[in-house]
Structure 1
Amino acid sequence: MLRPPRSGASRTVHARFSVREAPGVTVGAPGPLPYGVDGVARRTAQRALSEAGRGYLGGHVELRAPRGLAPRVLRRAIDRAVALAVAATLHGAPPTTRIRLRT
């Protein structure tokens, strides 16, 4: 069971993407992720690469997210953060994105 966040705690999802030449996307996090979140991040990264015409590439997504959020809110934020991180990496911008949660 996830504990609710401390008052004043960060309510931001961080995503960082690094490109690899080998196909396939891996997901990592400093701690355990809620059920299904790694699959959402993996599918989002693969979809973003395919839509950019780079479906033959792969990469690694590093996630950081606060605990105690509703799964739906967390999945939506991770979906947006990963898509932006992949797009930023492919455009040559810094590969880290932050999505502030409004809950």
Structure 2
Amino acid sequence: MPVLVKDLFVIQTNLTPKNPVTKEREIDLKMLEKNCRLIRRFYETQQRSKLYANLITINVDVQTVIRMSVASHDTMSDLQDRSLEIFPKMTKQQQQAVQTIENLEDVGFF
């Protein structure tokens, strides 16, 4: 749902009261810029979440939980906790150990 700057400008124009001296509506450019940044961050997050969902093709239940959490407007901390449950953060040593085990399994050692 892309929102253009023009749309924000119209919305902000309709919400701002008229200046009593000039009888014209004034736009707060700082607020307009802030709204544009916020919407851009939201849009980028939405795109990242789509890519994140595509990475987890194996477990449909996990995808469903993530989508339902986002749809129910869970807080950022709840989403981060759920993300760590699904893909825990590992140190470099742990990642190397996992990679070594996966390589050995691919070769047929295990």
Q: Return the structure number with greater relative CO, CA threshold 8 A, min gap 6.
A: 1
Highest Rg: 1 or 2?
2
Greater share of helix: 2
TM-score w.r.t. the length of structure 1 is 0.28
TM-score w.r.t. the length of structure 2 is 0.27
Greater share of strand: 1
